[in-house]
Structure 1
Amino acid sequence: MNPSLSSVAPAGSPEPLSPSTPPKPLLNTVLNALEDIKAKDIEVLDVRSLTSLFDTLIIASADSTRQTRALAHHVADEVRSTGRKVLNMEGLQSGEWILVDLGSIIVHLMQPMIRDYYDLSSLWKGPLRPASLIAQDLAP
């Protein structure tokens, strides 16, 4: 079983999902591809309760722009090899932060300094406010 699954947790949940929880085939493909190219600090968040745009957010670090690009291309190649589509990849030119859009899964591949600065993990794990409250904040 994939050791990265110990980091799979619903957003806002203090307990990770059990490593024995069978992963979705696409999730397993992505995690294996990340491990193949030695991604670091792989974090998987179940965000279904927070957004309807996608189900899972994966954040991983790489030591160099070369590794970040290699991770993105390997994830895309492995996903395509299963007959699935890669909807989009953004950030390949700079290589500091690459987003791979797989539809139900969004993969963020980041340099450690960029990852620390934007801290997406905290953003997606933190309490979200209903849009009506945000609209009230913006009202004159």
Structure 2
Amino acid sequence: MSNQAHVIKTRIPDPPPAAEQLLSAVRDAVEALKAKDVVEIDVRGKSSVTDFMVVASGTSTRHVKSIADEVVKHAKLLGFMPLGVEGEREAEWVLVDLADVVVHVMLPRVREFYALERLWTVGDQPPEIHPADDTPAG
């Protein structure tokens, strides 16, 4: 028995938006939906998959999904369709792949368990917390 894969039609404008443009759109999206403890991690030189990771928390599964949906909406405003969106059904951890920027929106308990910030910043300065946030992650 086979399961049908969820197919997302990707669209990358030519030329694609710069990583900083995508990062700005993500900032606007997470800020608009009042995501908690937003952290941006520069992984250039550490990962060949992406340039930046953004990790944010939602207060409930509905909030997590709404934040991820808002990120997708803001990317579309740049003419960019995500390469993939994973985890929407359970909405405890939703990943939005925007190529140069990968966004992780998680419930706090899931975020604490996986500790992505620590994984990607071992030996670095602490991750940068977005100025709109009131409290540091962790």
Q: Tell me whether the two structures share a fold, i.e. TM-score over 0.5.
A: yes
Which of 38, 46, 53 is matched with 1:50 structurally? 46
CA distance in 1, matches of 2:47, 2:22: 19
Within 5 A, what are the aligned runs for 1:1-140?
24-127=20-123
Q: Which runs of 5 or more structure 1 residues have no equivalent in the other structure?
A: 1-22, 128-140
In the alignment, what sits opposite 1:6?
Answer: none
Provide TM-score, normalisation by structure 1: 0.73
Structure exhibiting the larger radius of gyration computed from Cα positions: 1
Query: In the TM superposition, what is the alpha-carbon distance from 1:81 to its structure 2 partner?
Result: 1.2
Larger RCO (CA under 8 A, 6+ residues apart):
2
Segments ≥4 residues shifted beyond 2 Å: none
Q: Which has the higher helix share?
A: 1
Query: In the TM superposition, what is the alpha-carbon distance from 1:98 to its structure 2 partner?
Result: 0.3
- Residue identity over aligned pairs, in percent, reads 38
SS at 1:45's partner residue?
strand
> What's the RMSD between the two structures over aligned residues?
1.1
CA distance in 2, matches of 1:46, 1:96: 24
Decide which moves more: 76-85 or 97-106: 76-85
Provide TM-score, normalisation by structure 2: 0.74
Q: Which amino acid aligns with 1:86?
A: P
Aligned residues: 105
In the alignment, what sits opposite 2:4?
Answer: none
CA distance in 1, matches of 2:20, 2:103: 15
In the alignment, what sits opposite 1:136?
Answer: none
CA distance in 1, matches of 2:115, 2:35: 17
